[in-house]
Structure 1
Amino acid sequence: MKRGVLVLVAVLGAPVALLPAGAVTAGYLAVRSDSTRRSTCQELLPIEEAKVRTVRWDPPEELPDLGDYPEIHWQGRTKGNPCSRMPGPTDWAYQGVVELRPEDAQALAKRYGFVAYDPVGAQEYASSRTPEDVWPALAPFLPSEPRWLTSRVYDELDTSARWRIVYLDVEHGTVLFMLDDH
C-alpha cells in the first residue's frame, strides 16, 4: 500500500510541484513578450509617423467637398503614447496637403466663404494649427508663395469627430489641412 501511495504522489506531485515553476516561467515570458512588443512599438512609431502617405483621405466626410483631387500627401502623429501599457485610446493629429482641380478649389472657396488668412490675427487659432507650423516633411508640397484663405464655416462643419482647420490657396489649387482627435 505504501508503494501505491508513493506512486500516486510521484505521479500527481510532480506536475503540482512544477506548477509554481511553470507559472513563474509563463509570467516571465508574458512580461518579456510585452516588453519586447513595447520596445518594438517604440522603435516603429517614429518610422510610421515620418511616412508621408499618399492614399486618399478616409473617411472623406472629414474633408468634404474637395472633389476628385489628383494628389494628397499627409502624415499622422500621436499625441500620447500608443505603446504604453495603459488602456484606452491614443489621440492623433494629422496634417496634409491636397492638390485640387482648379474648378474644385474655386467652388470650395465660394461655397464656404473662405476669406484671406491674416497671420497677425491668428490668435484665434491654436499656435500649432497655422500654416507656419506645417510639419517639415509636408512643407515641400506647399506652394512657394501661398495666398492662404480660411473659413470658420468649413472648419466648424459637423462632418467630422475631429477638430479641423483648413487653409485654401485657390490660385495654386492647394489645401492644407490639420485634424486633431478630441
Structure 2
Amino acid sequence: MRTRTVVLTIAGVCVVALAAGVIVAQRLEAATKDERDCTDQLQVDVSAVRTAREWTSEDIPGVGDYVEIHWQADTPGSPCSRAPGPTDWQYEGVLRLRDTDTAAFAAWPAATGAPSVRDALRSFVPAGVHWRHGGGFPQSVHGRVVDLYVDPDLAVAWFSLADS
C-alpha cells in the first residue's frame, strides 16, 4: 500500500509540474508575441515622417510660428523592453520658417559643418542651403538638448531634440 501512495504522490506532482510548465510556456509565448508586435510597430513609427506641430518657439527658441514641419522620432533604447525605466527619445526635423522670423538668424555665423539630415527628411531641405549655426546651440530647453541650424535666406531650419 505504501508503494502505491508514493507512486500516486509522484504522479500528482508530475501532473501539477506539467500544468505549471504549460501555463508558463503560454505566458512566455504571449509575451514574446507582444514584444514582436511592439518591435514591428516601433519600426513603423520610427520610419514615419510626421507633420504634427509638436513644438513651439518655447521648445525650439527663435523659430517663431513656422509655416510647416516634417519630423521623425527615434530611440537609442527599446521601449518594447520589459525592463523598468523611461525610454529616451530623439527627434529630428525640418521647418519652413516665416520670412518675418528669419532676420535674427542672419547674424549667426556660417556653420562649420552641416547637420546630418536623415534620408527621409532630405527632400524637405532645399538645394543650395547654406546653414548658419549659433545662438548658443546646442542648448538645454525644458530638459531636452536642442540643436538648430538655419538658412535665413531660404527660410528653412533643421532641428534636433533629445531627451536628456
Q: TM-score range by the shorter chain?
A: 0.7 to 0.9
CA shift digits 1:80-99 (9 cap, x unpaired):
12222322222222110000
The match for 1:31 is: 28
The match for 2:126 is: 143
In the alignment of these two chains, the number of paired residues is 152
- The alignment partner of 2:53 has SS state of coil
Aligned equivalents of 1:28, 1:101: Cα separation in 2? 58
- The alignment partner of 1:85 has SS state of coil
Residue 179 of structure 1 pairs with residue 124 of structure 2: no
Where in structure 2 are the equivalents of 1:119-158 lying within 5 Å?
A: 119=113, 130-131=114-115, 133-156=116-139, 158=140
The match for 2:109 is: 115
Unpaired stretches in structure 2, ≥5 consecutive residues: 1-13
Q: What amino acid does structure 1 have at the position aligned with 2:138?
A: D
> How well do the aligned residues superpose, as a CA RMSD in angstroms?
2.4
Aligned equivalents of 1:34, 1:146: Cα separation in 2? 48
Aligned equivalents of 1:19, 1:161: Cα separation in 2? 52
Kept after mapping to 1: 8 A contact 2:47/2:72: yes
The match for 2:149 is: 167
Q: What amino acid does structure 2 have at the position aligned with 1:27?
A: V
TM superposition shift of 1:58? 3.5
- The alignment partner of 1:172 has SS state of coil
Give aligned-pair identity as a percent: 33
The match for 2:6 is: none
Aligned equivalents of 1:41, 1:59: Cα separation in 2? 30
Unpaired stretches in structure 1, ≥5 consecutive residues: 1-16, 120-129
- Bigger helix fraction: 1
Q: TM-score, normalised by structure 2?
A: 0.80
TM superposition shift of 1:75? 0.2
Aligned equivalents of 1:105, 1:35: Cα separation in 2? 50
